[in-house]
């Protein structure tokens, strides 16, 4: 026999005698309380300075900051959704004291008032963590990068290479037209100085086409095709060149950018659902962590990590007026420029180079450049057969960041009839080896350091310190694409995410 069914009291009108206190509805230790507590401690003067004064009253910057930080902490990124949360969610209502900014206000605050100043707020929170002894800014940091897609249209690309090719085409076609005109209207063009088309600009092209057109005007033998070409050139070339010039100014050192977010560069992302290696407009996010807390973040337009370490660490120093004692990073950062910069700053580099892991498993590859003994005093290399490879010269190479590398060349005196020539090298002449001595020395030091007790400890810690932060941001927070356009606004989003990440972790 079943027992009597008992229901809890239920009022269909949902009437309560007194309204609930929001304070009672927010549990102690809830993340929203941490957001309130921490944001109440930060100095918001940097944001205040962005208000012009006059006009209607504004929501307090601290209130708006709380709204955005808690929004990013609870995976709510859209300004319309944040507006909705402020009206309906008791945690937001408690945090904002029942104030209800609309989505335009939220967006304006995020895009304009936080741009350029949020990093200062972020650093204040990291300094609080440092004060509490949760992190130590002087100790080692773990640095890594990931690419996050921009909100730009995926097919709005401008390629640097296409611009170059199109300019070359215009140059050669203009040259052809000029030669043609010289052939049949030499008399009309007699007084004209010989033209070179190495450097062309819209004005020069316009004038040259006009002169060719005038010279060929009354020549009956000029074909219809040439006339059409001249008309096309008159109409399009100066305009196209002007556009290429503007595009090159935006590109600077990059190979590509997006028309709908010119700050974004096309990069290969890990998230490649179509498995076709499609390049997408994105930013390269660099972070330095300690105990999975983010101590520094920076956004870059270059897709290669090694180019980002110098500006990233400069920002760290500028924020905290101190340096970490060591930087631990993967092989993507192992360049002579980075090793040198860290040495100059007296920061220990626990950074692998590209062949480190392979070397550890299989040893240094026989016959490779690195396997050849170098005699510093005599400045020569010793080849696998014991021959002295003499120094035949140096040349310099400039990296994309402007760093100058010195490359020394050495040549074996005689490789004819060498029994191991087939495995040693494939060149017809005697073997020539190019060595970057700075990098070679830095690699030796890095190898030694990475195999110390401390090095092994850092190598084990790196994948569990910095990499889970990216996984957390992308998988748990679902933040895989920026919402705002432009690097400054995208940086605000990363700043809010980093603050939210640190506060959530602090609470946990």
Question: Closer to ligand SF4 at the Cβ: 179 or 414?
Answer: 414
Q: Tell me how far apart the alpha carbons of residues 184 and 216 are, in angstroms, rounded to a whole number.
A: 8
Contact segment (CB under 6 A) with ligand SF4 among 69-77, 95-103, 217-225, 412-420 equals 412-420
The pair of three-digit structure tokens given for residue 12, joined into one six-digit string: 């269909």
Question: Closer to ligand SF4 at the Cβ: 162 or 371?
Answer: 371
Contact segment (CB under 6 A) with ligand SF4 among 148-156, 399-407, 419-427, 445-453 equals 419-427
Tell me how far, at minimum, the Cβ of 368 lies from ligand SF4, in Å: 12
Q: Is 424 in the site for ligand SF4 (CB under 6 A)?
A: yes
Q: Tell me how far apart the alpha carbons of residues 351 and 462 are, in angstroms, rounded to a whole number.
A: 11
Task: Write each residue from 158 to 187 as x if it is in contact with ligand SF4 (CB under 6 A), else as -, in one continuous string.
Answer: ------------------------------
Task: Write each residue from 206 to 225 as x if it is in contact with ligand SF4 (CB under 6 A), else as -, in one continuous string.
Answer: --------------------
Question: Closer to ligand SF4 at the Cβ: 385 or 471?
Answer: 385
Question: Closer to ligand SF4 at the Cβ: 222 or 418?
Answer: 418
Residue 396, helix vs strand vs coil: strand
Tell me how far, at minimum, the Cβ of 411 lies from ligand SF4, in Å: 9
Q: CA-based angle 36:61:320, to the nearest 5?
A: 75
Question: Of residues 25, 210, 420, 471, which one binds ligand SF4 by CB under 6 A?
Answer: 420
Contacts of 263 (CB under 8 A, 6+ apart): 150, 257, 283, 301, 485, 486, 487, 490
Question: Closer to ligand SF4 at the Cβ: 431 or 485?
Answer: 431
Contact 122, 296 (CB under 8 A): no
Task: Write each residue from 372 to 411 as x if it is in contact with ligand SF4 (CB under 6 A), else as -, in one continuous string.
Answer: -----------xxx-x------------------------
Size of the site for ligand SF4 (CB under 6 A): 12
Tell me how far, at minimum, the Cβ of 389 lies from ligand SF4, in Å: 7
Tell me how far, at minimum, the Cβ of 298 lies from ligand SF4, in Å: 45
Contacts of 37 (CB under 8 A, 6+ apart): none
Q: Tell me how far apart the alpha carbons of residues 233 and 178 are, in angstroms, rounded to a whole number.
A: 12
Tell me how far, at minimum, the Cβ of 444 lies from ligand SF4, in Å: 22
Q: For residue 501, give Cα distances in angstroms to 35, 348, 420, 479.
A: 11, 27, 58, 12
Residue list 427-446, contact with ligand SF4 (CB under 6 A) = 431
Tell me how far, at minimum, the Cβ of 386 lies from ligand SF4, in Å: 8
How many other CB atoms are found less than 10 A from the CB of residue 162?
13
Question: Closer to ligand SF4 at the Cβ: 379 or 445?
Answer: 379
Contact 150, 283 (CB under 8 A): yes
Give the chain's length: 508
Q: Tell me how far apart the alpha carbons of residues 350 and 454 are, in angstroms, rounded to a whole number.
A: 9
Residue 300, helix vs strand vs coil: strand
Tell me how far, at minimum, the Cβ of 447 lies from ligand SF4, in Å: 24
User: Which strand (E) or helix (H) includes residue 448?
Assistant: helix 437-450
Distance between start and end Cα atoms, the chain: 48
Residue 498, helix vs strand vs coil: helix
Question: Of residues 319, 347, 415, 484, which one binds ligand SF4 by CB under 6 A?
Answer: 415
Place of tokens 């432009």: 486
Question: Of residues 412, 473, 494, 503, which one binds ligand SF4 by CB under 6 A?
Answer: 412
Place of tokens 């060498």: 418
Q: Tell me how far apart the alpha carbons of residues 342 and 335 are, in angstroms, rounded to a whole number.
A: 11
Question: Closer to ligand SF4 at the Cβ: 36 or 431?
Answer: 431
Residue list 282-311, contact with ligand SF4 (CB under 6 A) = none
Contacting positions for ligand SF4 (CB under 6 A):
383-385, 387, 412, 415, 418, 420-421, 424-425, 431
């Amino acid at each position: 026999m079943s027992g009597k069914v008992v229901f809890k009291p239920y009022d269909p009108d949902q009437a309560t005698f007194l309204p609930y206190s929001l304070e009672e509805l927010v549990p102690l230790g809830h993340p929203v309380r941490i957001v309130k507590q921490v944001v109440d401690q930060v100095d918001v003067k940097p944001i205040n300075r962005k208000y012009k004064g006059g006009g209607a009253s504004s929501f307090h910057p601290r209130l708006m900051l709380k709204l955005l930080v808690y929004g990013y902490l609870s995976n709510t990124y859209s300004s319309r959704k944040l507006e909705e949360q402020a009206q309906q969610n008791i945690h937001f209502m408690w945090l904002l004291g029942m104030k209800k900014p609309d989505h335009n206000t939220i967006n304006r605050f995020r895009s304009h008032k936080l741009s350029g100043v949020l990093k200062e707020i972020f650093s204040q929170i990291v300094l609080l963590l440092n004060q509490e002894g949760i992190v130590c800014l002087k100790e080692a940091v773990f640095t890594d990068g990931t690419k996050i897609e921009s909100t730009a249209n995926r097919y709005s690309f401008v390629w640097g290479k296409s611009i170059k090719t199109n300019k070359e085409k215009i140059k050669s076609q203009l040259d052809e037209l000029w030669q043609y005109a010289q052939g049949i209207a030499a008399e009309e063009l007699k007084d004209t100085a010989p033209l070179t088309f190495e450097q062309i600009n819209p004005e020069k092209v316009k004038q040259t086409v006009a002169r060719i057109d005038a010279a060929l005007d009354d020549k009956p033998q000029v074909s219809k095709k040439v006339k059409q070409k001249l008309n096309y050139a008159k109409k399009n070339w100066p305009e196209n060149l002007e556009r290429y010039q503007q595009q090159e100014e935006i590109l600077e050192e990059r190979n590509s950018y997006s028309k709908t977010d010119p700050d974004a560069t096309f990069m290969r992302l890990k998230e490649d659902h179509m498995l076709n290696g499609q390049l997408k407009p994105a930013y390269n996010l660099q972070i330095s962590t300690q105990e999975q807390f983010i101590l520094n973040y920076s956004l870059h337009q270059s897709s290669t990590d090694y180019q980002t370490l110098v500006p990233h660490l400069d920002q760290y120093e500028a924020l905290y007026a101190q340096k970490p004692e060591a930087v631990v990073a993967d092989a993507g950062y192992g360049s002579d420029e980075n090793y040198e910069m860290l040495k100059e700053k007296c920061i220990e580099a626990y950074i692998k180079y590209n062949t480190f892991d392979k070397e550890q498993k299989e040893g240094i590859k026989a016959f490779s450049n690195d396997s050849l003994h170098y005699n510093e005093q005599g400045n020569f290399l010793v080849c696998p057969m014991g021959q002295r490879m003499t120094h035949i010269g140096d040349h310099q190479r400039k990296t994309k960041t402007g760093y100058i590398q010195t490359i020394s060349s050495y040549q074996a005196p005689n490789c004819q009839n060498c029994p191991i020539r087939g495995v040693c090298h494939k060149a017809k002449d005697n073997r020539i080896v190019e060595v970057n001595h700075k990098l070679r020395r830095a690699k030796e030091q890095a190898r030694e350091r990475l195999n110390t007790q401390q090095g092994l400890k850092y190598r084990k810690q790196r994948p569990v310190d910095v990499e889970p932060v990216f996984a957390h941001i992308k998988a748990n927070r679902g933040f895989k694409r920026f919402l705002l356009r432009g690097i400054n606004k995208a940086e605000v989003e990363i700043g809010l995410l980093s603050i939210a990440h640190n506060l959530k972790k602090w609470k946990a």
